[in-house]
Structure 1
C-alpha cells in the first residue's frame, strides 16, 4: 500500500483565523464536495508564504462563502490572505494508481477555482505516465 494524493486545494486564501476555536480548518462545503474532501477528513496543510506545515481536519463552513478559516493551533501558522495548499491522501495498491483520479482545485485571489484532474496511465514497459486535465472554471457559479 502506498500513500497517494486524493484531493488538493491549491492556493486557497485564508479568509479568517480563530485561535480560540478548538482546532480544524473550516472550508466552503461546495469546494470540499468538488475536490472530494469529506467533513472530519484529515488534510495536510502548507502555508506558501511561511512554509509552515500542519495536519488538521476539515469542518464545513458556510456554503458559497469561499471560506478558509484556520482554527485553534492551526491559526498560528497563517494570516488572513496567506495562500495555503491543503491535501488529502489515501492508501492504495501500486497497481490501482491508474484508476485514481485525484482532483486539484487551483484558486485565484477571491477563492474562485478551476477544476484540474490528475491521472496516471501505465506504459507498455510498465512505467507510469502522469496527465493533467483542466475541466471548467468555477462550476459552483459563485461570483
Structure 2
C-alpha cells in the first residue's frame, strides 16, 4: 500500500493575475516551483485563503524571479487578484519512504519573492531553513 504525502508547498503566494481566456492551469515563477520541488505540468492543489475555494490544476513555469502567480482558464474564476493562495503538490510513497519524508515548504513575501524555504517535521513544526 502506498500513501499520498505532501511533497512541496508554496505558502500564501499573492495572485498577481487571473486570465479567464487562457487555455488552463496556473503560471508560477520558475524559482518558486524549483524551491518547492514542483515540476512544470505537475498537478497541484490550490487553496484560496480569502474565499476558501480548493481546486486542482497543473503548473506552467513562469519567468524566473517575476513573482508571477496567474490563474488561467476556468481556475481564474476561483480567485481574485490580490488573494493569497497555497499551492500543494503530493507524491505517492511506500510506508518506508513516508516515514522519512520531509516536504519542502516555500514561504514568500508580498511580492512572491522567496522569504524562506524549510520543511515540516512531525505535528507541523518547522525545521531549520534550507536557505
RMSD: 1.6
TM-score, structure 1 length as denominator? Answer: 0.84
Residue aligning to 1:99? 100
Which structure would you say has the larger RCO, counting Cα contacts within 8 Å and 6 or more residues apart? Answer: 2
- Number of matched residues? 129
Question: Runs of at least 4 residues of structure 1 off by over 3 A?
Answer: none
Q: Answer yes or no: is the 8 Å Cα contact 1:114–1:134 preserved in 2.
A: no
Does the C-alpha gap of structure 1 residues 130 and 9 become closer, same or farther in structure 2, counting only changes over 3 Å?
closer
Larger Rg: 1
Residue aligning to 2:127? 133
Please give the residue correspondences for 1:1-143 in structure 2 after superposition, counting only pairs within 5 Å.
1-112=2-113, 113-120=115-122, 131-135=125-129
Q: Could you list the runs of 5+ residues in structure 1 that have no partner in the other structure? A: 121-128
Q: Could you list the runs of 5+ residues in structure 2 that have no partner in the other structure? A: none
1:30-81 deviation per Cα after TM superposition (whole angstroms, max 9, x unaligned): 1101110000000000100000111000001111101000000010011111
